[in-house]
Amino acid sequence: MTGSPMLFYLFAAVAVGASLLVIAQRNPVYSVLLLIGSFGALSGLYVLLDAPFVAVIQIIVYAGAIMVLFLFVVMLLNAPHEDTDYDSHVHPLLRPGPMRFGAALALAFGVELVWALTRAGQSGAFAGGAVSSVAQIGHALFTDYAFPFEVTSILILVAMMGAVVLARRD
Amino acid sequence: MSPLLIAQIGLTLFVFVMLLSSAAVMVYVERKVAALLQQRLGPYLVGPKGLLQPLADVIKLMFKEELRPRAADALLFALAPIISATCAFAAFAVVPFGASTTFFGLLKIPLRLQVADVNVAILVIFAIASMSVYGIVLAGWSSNSKYSLLGGLRSSAQMISYELSYGLALAAVLLVSNSLSVTEIVNSQAGSWWHVIPRWSVFLQPVGFLIYMTAGIAETNRAPFDFPEAEQELVAGYHTEYSSMSFAMFFLAEYINMVTVSAVATDLFLGGWHGPFLPESLGWIWFLVKVGALLFFYVWMRWTLPRYRYDQLMRFGWKVLLPLSVVNLLVTAAGVLYFGL
């Protein structure tokens, strides 16, 4: 770790705080912006981990490309205020359909998080500086991880074709 | 504090002031060149030959009233120009503009004329360019006016479309120079072929250079791609509702983005600070000359070409520029692989 712990706590606090505020907003445009802030803080954490390439890619792909599309959709739908159509006194697990599903997902995620955190340190950590070199990342991507890489590209191709088919159906 | 640290801070401040004043100079140049091309005099009353015109403009903008539509989203309305200006300034941080210098022996370790030497500098420039779209989109949305919203939507569609070609043109240069660090890319362009042609990437990547400049003009929303602020259709586009200094920030961001795009083009395609006749320590003069030439080209384009139609812009971006940049990248990759350029 090259940076000071202070910077780590700063970025971590911004990331967690912004992520929590994302779900606390009534206006979806603010949610999108807070999510961008959270991504920015995450990319700061990557820089501290000596992985500038990952940090910049995080900004380009998530903050720069995907979130622009999110913002686009939110603005075009023109739904600045989300109305809650459920009784806030009822326990989340007892609310109708999607709410119950979301609560179940959140629960599963919580269990997973506890499971992962109790096993900290056992993951296959990279050697120092292994992720800082673009050449090394490229090499690993096209040798050891060539199959997952190509499968992902097919997945994206399928999604693209789906979008074209949906857009042409009229 | 060590002398090097002081020099580094001084350099950062210098770049900041230089960018601010370059915007002022560009305002004057834009008006003078426009006048030249339209056979009029341009500004000539304020100061000798109208040289103080930008100062007068700034003072006028400062004393204007700051207006905000009642239905606007107050926070985002205030934030949007700040995002635009910040992104414009931030991008220049990784652009080197001269060889290392010791300031005539004042420093023991030579200082690199670049605010931050990042080894993924190209990607940083690209990332900041992709962030600057938020300033425009949010300005359009938060103003709560139909002209602003249309301008904001157009600009995001335009910037997303042309960013792809912009990135692919950059990628082809990376293949040729085999590095992601701008300083190394510039240094790989030193020298010349057969003592005649300078070893600049533009000669290896002529198509890439054209794609880069076209996409760069679209990215900075300049004519003939100035749809986000097309006067005849959208009043002033995304900054219709802005006045005073918040308008000035958008204005500033546009000019600084032009300077950054030209500086990056100089570093990547035109050999940066390398050039004949001057020693390397004075290379920044060459850098200034090249950036100045590209900026003149920008202004020249604006006052020569009419604006495209919106559907023409989209068709050109997706059906001409993008396939062309993909082919350019493939040909470059094949060339590097089989001939080891």
Residue among B149, B29, B131, B151 nearest B86 (CA): B131
Domain extent at residue B224: 3-339
Whether the per-residue pLDDT at A78 is higher than 90: the answer is: no
SS (H, E, C) A59-73: HHHHHHHHHHHHHHH
Least confident of A114-128, B6-20, B205-219, B272-286: A114-128
Q: B142-146, B167-171, B268-272 — which one is most confidently predicted on average?
A: B167-171
Which chain A residues contact residue B156 at CB under 8 A? 68, 71-72
Quick check: A39 and B109 in contact, CB under 8 A?
no
Buried b (16+ CB within 10 A) or exposed e, A137-165: beeeeeeeeeeeeeeeeeeeeeeeeeeee
Whether the per-residue pLDDT at B108 is higher than 70: the answer is: no
Quick check: B225 and B231 in contact, CB under 8 A?
no
Q: Tell me whether A41 touches chain B (CB under 8 Å).
A: no
Residue among A24, A32, A23 nearest A72 (CA): A32
Q: Tell me whether A71 touches chain B (CB under 8 Å).
A: yes
pLDDT band at B232 (very low <50, low <70, confident <90, very high): low
Give A18's DSSP letter.
H
Query: Measured between CA atoms, how close is A40 to chain B, in angstroms?
Result: 11
Give me chain B's average pLDDT, please: 81
Residues for chain A: how many in total?
170
Q: Tell me whether A8 touches chain B (CB under 8 Å).
A: no
Q: What is the mean pLDDT of residues A143-169?
A: 88
pLDDT of residue B142: 82
Residues 87-126 of B with CB under 8 A from A: 118-120, 123-124, 126
Q: A14-18, A125-129, B134-138, B307-311 — which one is most confidently predicted on average?
A: A14-18
Q: Which residue has the tokens 């050449």?
A: A135
Q: What is the mean pLDDT of residues B156-185?
A: 82
Least confident of A55-64, A98-107, A120-129, B244-253: A120-129
A81 versus B70: the higher-pLDDT residue is B70
Q: What is the mean pLDDT of residues A15-28?
A: 85
Whether the per-residue pLDDT at B341 is higher than 60: the answer is: no
Domain count, chain B: 1
pLDDT, tens digit, 9 for 90 and up, residues B254-278: 888 888 888 888 888 887 777 777 6
pLDDT of residue A108: 92
Q: A73-82, B83-92, B137-146 — which one is most confidently predicted on average?
A: B83-92
> Half-sphere exposure of A129 toward its Cβ, with a 13 Å CA cutoff?
0
pLDDT band at A1 (very low <50, low <70, confident <90, very high): very low
- Please say whether the dihedral angle defined by the alpha carbons of residues B211, B180, B115 and B198, taken in this order, is positive or negative: negative
Task: Determine the 3-state secondary structure of B111 from DSSP.
Answer: strand
Q: Which residue has the tokens 């949610």?
A: A31
Q: What is the mean pLDDT of residues B38-57?
A: 82
CA-CA distance, B129 to A31, in Å (whole number)? 22
Say which of B130, B133, B141 has its CB closest to residue A75: B141
